[in-house]
Structure 1
C-alpha cells in the first residue's frame, strides 16, 4: 500500500476557518452520541406501542451501537480511499434518510433495520471527522485541544439525550426522537463542501472485505449468544453460536497478522499504555451503556413518572458530566494526569454503590440521581486523558488508526453493556418474580405493560420489586467491574505491557 497524503498547508488553506470546520464536524458527533442513549428514554413508549419480544427489545436498543463498533474500522479505510469529506457527506445523507424512516416505523424489525443503517453511517462519520481534525490542526497543542472539544461534544450528547428525549416525548410521539437527526445531517450535507477540505490518501491496496465481514460477524455472533441464552435457547444452541463467534474472532486476528496491509494494525494494542487505556475505555463504556437503560424504566415504569419529569431528574448527571469533562483537563495542568484519571475512576466506582442499594419506593429517585452524578462525573473527568493516552502512545502515522480503535472499543463497550447487564438483570428479574408470583414470562417491559393494562396493583408491585432486584444486580456488577478496572489501571507498566 502506498500513500501520498495531501500537504497540510493545502488542506488548511482550503478550509475558510479551522474552527468553523471543527464546529461542523462536532455536530454529527453530538447527534451520534445522542442517538446512542436517547432510545433509553423512548424505549418504554416504543415497547408499549410496538410490543417487541425480549430479543427484539434488546436488538432495538443496542443494534445501533454494535453496528457503529463493528464497522468503524472498515469505514475508516473506506474514507481513506474515496475521501473523508465525501464519505461524511454521503453518510450524513444516509443517516438523515434512515432517521426519517425510523420515526414512522410500525414494527420492531423496522426499528432494528433502520438503526443498523444509522449505525453504519455513524461509524463512517466519526473516524473521518477525527482524521480531518488531525490534519486541520497540525500544531500538537491545538490538535489536542480540538480533539478534546470534539470528544466533549460527544460526551455532552450522551448527557443531554435523556432531557431532549423527555421533552420530545412529553409533547410528541416516540418517533420524534429519531427526527432529531434529520436537520443536523441536512446542515452537514449542505455545509461540508464549503467548510471542510477534502482529504484522502492514494491507497493502492483494496479494502479487505473478508476482514470486514469477519469482524462484524464475530461481534454479532457473540452478542446473539448472550441474547439466546437469556431468551430461552437451549444450552447447545447458545454454546454453538458462541463457539462460532469465537472462531470468527480468532480468524480475524490471524488474518490481520498475516496480511501485508491489514484492515487494522493490531500491533498498536501491544504498545505500552495503549492496551491499558483501551481496556479501561471498554470496561467503563460497558458499565455506562449497561446501566443507562435502567434509569428510564425505573423512573417511568416503576415509579410512574412522565417522560419529561423523569428526564429532568437526570439533568444533574448531565451537568456533572459537562463540568467534569472540562475540569479534568484543568486539573491535569496542576496535578499528574495519572492522579486525575485515578480520581475519576474512584468517583465512578462509588457511583455504582447507590445502584446496588436501590430502594423500591420513591426515595429511590435521590439514590438514582446520586449514582448517576457520580458515574458520569467520574468518566467525564477521565475520558479525555484515556483518549490522549491512546493517541499519544501511537506513532504519528498511526494516530488515526489508534483513535479509530479507541472509538471502536468505546462503542462496542456501550453496546456490550446493554446486552451483558441487561441480560443479567433479566435473569434476576425472572428469578425474583417467580419467587413471589409463582411464574415469570418475558421481560420487565411485559410485566409493567400487563400490570398497567390490567390495572393490577398487586402485579405492579411484584414487577417493580423484581425489576429493582435486577437493577441492584447491575449495580453490584458495576462495583465489581470497577474494582477490576482500578487494579488494571494501577498495575505496573511492564506487567500491563506483558
Structure 2
C-alpha cells in the first residue's frame, strides 16, 4: 500500500492544528453536556425509561462502536475529506436535535452525531503527524489537541447550565453548528489531504462484525453496572466476544483488512495498547466512587462537587502541555514511567481516604495526581501507537487506541464497581446484620427513612468499598509501572 501523493505543504501548521482541535472541543462537550439538559428535555419530550436510557447513552455507544471502522474509512477515502463530510453531518444532526419533538428524534440524531464524532477524532490525530512530521513537535501538537478536548469536558457542565438556564434545552445542540460549519469551509484550504493509493475494496462484513461486537460488549458492561449480572447482559457479553473472535479471524485472512492486527505484533505498540487499556480501566472504574463520595459521603451539592473536581481538570490540562515540553529535554519513556508512578501514588491516596474534611483534601490530592499523570503521558502514548503504524494506516491505529481507551473505561466500571460492591456488602452486613442491593440502594433507603444511623453505616461501608477498589487500582498500576520501567531499561522509547 502506498501513499497517494507527496506530503502537502501546510502554510500554517498552528492554524491547521487549531482547526483540528475545534471540532474535538465540541465532541468533548457533547459527551457530557446532555446530563445538564436532560431534566428539561424529559419534561418536554416525556420519554419512557428505556428511551431516556438510550437518549443518554447512544452517543457514547456509537462513538465506541464505530471508531475503528471510521478510522479505516479515513485512511481509504482521505482524512481531510472525511473530516469535512462528518463535520457537515454533525452540524445537520445537531440542528435537527435542537428542534426535536419526540424522544426518537434525539436518539437518532445523537447516534448520527456519535458516528460523525468517531470519524473526526482519529482522522484528526492521524493528520497531526502529517502536519508535524518531527516526533517531538508531533507530541507537543498532540498535547495541545488533548488540551482542547479536555477543556471541552471541563466546561461542558458550565456551558450547558448557562444555555439551559437562559434559553432552552435545544441550545446545547445548536452551539456546535457554527464550529462545524467553519470546519467545513476552512478545512479544504487549511488542512493537508492524505489517503492510501491502493486501499482495496472496503469489507462491509468486517465493519458489521466490528460494530456489533463492540456495541454488544459495551452494552453488556453498562448493563452490568446499572442492573447487575443479569442473563441478558451475560448473553450480550458472550455474543459480543464471539463476534469479536470472528472479526479477528477475518482480519487475518483478508489481503486488505479493516484493521491491521499485525500492528499489535510490534512489542512497543502492544505494550502501549495495554498501558492505555489498563490506565483507562482504573481511571474509569474509580470515577464513579469519587462522585458518590463527594455527594453521598461528604454531603456536597452537585455544584460543590464540581468545584472539588475542578483541580483535577486543571491538572490534566497543564500536564497535557507540560509533558510534551519536558519530552524535548528528557527521554519520553522516562516521562511515561514517572507518570505511571505518579498515578499509582494518586490511587494509593484514594485507598487511604479518611473521614471528614481530611478525606476531602486527600481525595482532591489523589485526583490531581491521577489525572495529571495520565494527562502528561497520554500524548506520548497516542503518538507512540500512531508513529509505529504505516502512514496509510495511521487513522486506523489512532482509532484502535481510542477504542481500547473506551472499552477500558467500561471494563473499569464493571470490575472495580463489582469489587467495591462486594466489600460494601461485607462491611454493611458486619455492621447491620444484612445488606441488599448496591450502595445506591443503601443511600436511597437511608434518605427515604430519614435514618441517620443507617446513613452512617452505609457511608462507612461505601468508603470501605472505595478503599478496596482503589487498592485494586494500585495493584493494576503496579503491573503498568513494571511494564513501563522494563521497557525503559531495555531502551524501548515511547513517543
TM-score under structure 2 normalisation? 0.81
**Given that residues 87 and 180 in structure 2 are in contact (C-alpha distance below 8 angstroms), is that contact kept between their aligned partners in structure 1?**
yes
Q: CA offset at residue 210 of structure 1? A: 1.3
2:300 corresponds to which of 298, 305, 312: 305
**Given that residues 66 and 411 in structure 1 are in contact (C-alpha distance below 8 angstroms), is that contact kept between their aligned partners in structure 2?**
no
Closer, same or farther in 2 for the Cα pair 1:299/1:93, shift >3 Å? farther
Q: Secondary structure at the match of 2:267?
A: coil
Q: What is the aligned partner in structure 2 of residue 122 from structure 1?
A: 117
Q: Distance in 2 between matches of 1:334 and 1:164?
A: 38
Q: Distance in 2 between matches of 1:228 and 1:285?
A: 19
Closer, same or farther in 2 for the Cα pair 1:455/1:418, shift >3 Å? same
1:488 corresponds to which of 477, 483, 487: 483
Q: Name structure 1 gaps, 5 residues minimum.
A: none
Q: Please tell me whether residue 327 in structure 1 is matched to residue 322 in structure 2.
A: yes
**Given that residues 139 and 379 in structure 2 are in contact (C-alpha distance below 8 angstroms), is that contact kept between their aligned partners in structure 1?**
no
Q: What is the aligned partner in structure 2 of residue 210 from structure 1?
A: 205
Q: CA offset at residue 129 of structure 1? A: 1.5
Q: Please tell me whether residue 378 in structure 1 is matched to residue 377 in structure 2.
A: no
**Given that residues 62 and 418 in structure 1 are in contact (C-alpha distance below 8 angstroms), is that contact kept between their aligned partners in structure 2?**
no
1:286 corresponds to which of 275, 281, 284: 281
Q: What is the aligned partner in structure 2 of residue 244 from structure 1?
A: 239
After TM superposition, the structure 1 stretch with the greater mean CA deviation from structure 2, 344-353 or 216-225, is 216-225
Q: Distance in 2 between matches of 1:373 and 1:237?
A: 38
Q: Name structure 2 gaps, 5 residues minimum.
A: none
Count of residues paired in the alignment: 488
Closer, same or farther in 2 for the Cα pair 1:76/1:337, shift >3 Å? closer
1:19 corresponds to which of 14, 32, 36: 14
Deviations 1:252-288, CA, capped at 9 Å, x for gaps: 1110000000001111111121111111011112222
Q: CA offset at residue 230 of structure 1? A: 5.5
Q: Please tell me whether residue 412 in structure 1 is matched to residue 407 in structure 2.
A: yes
Deviations 1:455-485, CA, capped at 9 Å, x for gaps: 6656655554454444334322321211121
Q: CA offset at residue 300 of structure 1? A: 3.7
2:62 corresponds to which of 56, 67, 84: 67
Q: Distance in 2 between matches of 1:371 and 1:423?
A: 22
Q: What is the aligned partner in structure 2 of residue 6 from structure 1?
A: 5
Alignment of structure 1 residues 76-155 onto 2, 5 Å: 76-99=71-94, 115-138=110-133, 142-155=137-150
Deviations 1:6-58, CA, capped at 9 Å, x for gaps: 3323x63xxx533212101101223333444566x7599799989997x9998
Q: Distance in 1 between matches of 2:106 and 2:471?
A: 31
Deviations 1:217-251, CA, capped at 9 Å, x for gaps: 22233334445555667776555443322221111
Closer, same or farther in 2 for the Cα pair 1:386/1:308, shift >3 Å? same
Deviations 1:321-373, CA, capped at 9 Å, x for gaps: 22222222333333332221111101101111232233454543212211110
Q: Distance in 2 between matches of 1:62 and 1:102?
A: 15
**Given that residues 351 and 371 in structure 1 are in contact (C-alpha distance below 8 angstroms), is that contact kept between their aligned partners in structure 2?**
yes
Q: Distance in 1 between matches of 2:56 and 2:220?
A: 16
Q: Distance in 2 between matches of 1:404 and 1:87?
A: 14
Q: What is the aligned partner in structure 2 of residue 403 from structure 1?
A: 398
Q: Distance in 2 between matches of 1:107 and 1:360?
A: 46
Q: CA offset at residue 103 of structure 1? A: 6.8
Q: What is the aligned partner in structure 2 of residue 262 from structure 1?
A: 257
TM-score under structure 1 normalisation? 0.81
Closer, same or farther in 2 for the Cα pair 1:432/1:211, shift >3 Å? farther
Q: Secondary structure at the match of 2:259?
A: coil
Closer, same or farther in 2 for the Cα pair 1:364/1:185, shift >3 Å? farther
CA RMSD, 1 decimal: 4.1
Q: Distance in 2 between matches of 1:163 and 1:352?
A: 28
